[in-house]
Amino acid sequence: MPRLVALLLLVTGLGLAQGFRGLALYTPYPSQSVRVGETISLPISIKSFGLPPQSVQVRVVEVAPGWKASLLGGGRVVGAVYVLPDAEQSLSLRLEPPQRVQPGTYRFRLEALGSGGARAELPIALTLGQVLPKRLSLETELPVLKGTPTASFRYRVTLRNESDQDLLVNLEADAPQNFRVSFSTAFGGQEVNSLPLKAGESRDLDVQVTPPRQVEAKPYAVTLRALAGDTRAELVVNLDITGQVELSLTTPEERLSGRAYAGRENPIKLVVKNTGSAPAENVELSASEPSGWEVKFEPDKIERIAPGAESEVTARVKPSPRAVAGDYMLTFRASADGASTSADYRVTVQTSTLWGLVGVALIAVAVGAVGFAVSRFGRR
């Protein structure tokens, strides 16, 4: 018999737990720690289980001394909530502490009264003074990137708000002179320099560091900072800039055209400049010339060109002896390990005037013939 009673109780208990009818009044964290002196706003929800639609009275029945409590719905102070069957309504409870409030635990109690005796209670406890400090953290997985001055230095940085309040975070960076640093939201987002961050939220940022083109090859450090009020997080990222050879090819007067006589060697002065940040070793010179032409370089190899320095080369261009007069395109090339440059040079080929002299000689012979005839056959 007692067993039977116990079984009955158990069954009805199960039934009650599953088929609960009535009101529920709740908030996610009924007991929490807050900072001293700030107004707290708590989300409150009311839900009915299997009740007919009705208006539910909501009141704060117990308030800690000195505190002001008000229930707000849709921005106004409310006293009742209309709840449909199995539906939920949200409110917020605003708790304003008195001035000079002492640390300690304060209790509040909310009550919801529906028609037909449905009722729910919600006790709330606030502990003052035991709050987390404001904290931000900046982290990255790859703090050191290596590359040439023209490479892309992009760091994926995670900014985390490790406090219990929303923050507006300002981003800044300390970089060497002429380095440009830009923050943007991850995955191709906008460029930002301040962003709101909710409590406990983290955000991925892309930090792009652009070094100037003419930068010395050595490691550099960039300090990234996230600031919110008086709290800050710092992260040092490193750029290991390797040198880069960049060549340019031109002539001393920057003029890329000239004359050449067919069948003769014509010297053309060229200037090879290293505009990069690393020394160029073993710069080789070559040319693509029309067939039958000869192009020689003196010297045909430059041992070393320091960054920013230049070196003169003489190209000896010998157009083919059968070259037709007129303009031709030559391409000069300078290449060192990994870098190469080319310059198009327009050559105006002129033919030798030797045949012109032959023509003059021919006329002289003809004049001589006339002269001979005159002296030989001249008579009255």
Footprint of other proteins (CB under 8 A)? 289-293, 320, 322-330, 346, 348, 350-351, 353, 355-356, 358-360, 362-363, 365-367, 369-370, 372-380
Element (H, E) at 354: helix 354-377
CA gap 373, 111 in Å, rounded: 145
**Cβ proximity to other proteins, 142 vs 370, nearer residue:** 370
Nearer to other proteins, 53 or 292 (CB): 292
Place of tokens 């007129």: 326
Q: Are 229 and 277 contacting, i.e. CB atoms less than 8 angstroms apart? A: no
Query: Contact 39/97 with Cβ under 8 angstroms?
Result: yes
CB of residue 158 to other proteins, shortest distance in Å: 58
Dihedral (Cα; 76, 79, 84, 90), 10-degree rounding: 50
Nearest-approach distance from CB 295 to other proteins, in angstroms: 11
Q: Rank residues 6 and 369 by Cβ distance to other proteins and give the closer one.
A: 369
Whether 370 contacts 277, CB under 8 Å: no
Min. distance of Cβ 349 from other proteins in angstroms?
A: 9
Could you tell me the sign of the dihedral formed by the alpha carbons of 70, 74, 80, 85, in that order? negative
Q: Which is nearer to other proteins, 21 or 346 (CB)?
A: 346
Give the nearest distance from C-beta 263 to other proteins in angstroms.
13
d(CA 266, CA 293): 11
Residue number with CB closer to other proteins (265 or 281): 265
What is the rounded distance in angstroms from the CA atom of residue 340 to the CA atom of residue 246? 7
Q: How far is the CB of 284 from other proteins (least distance, A)?
A: 21
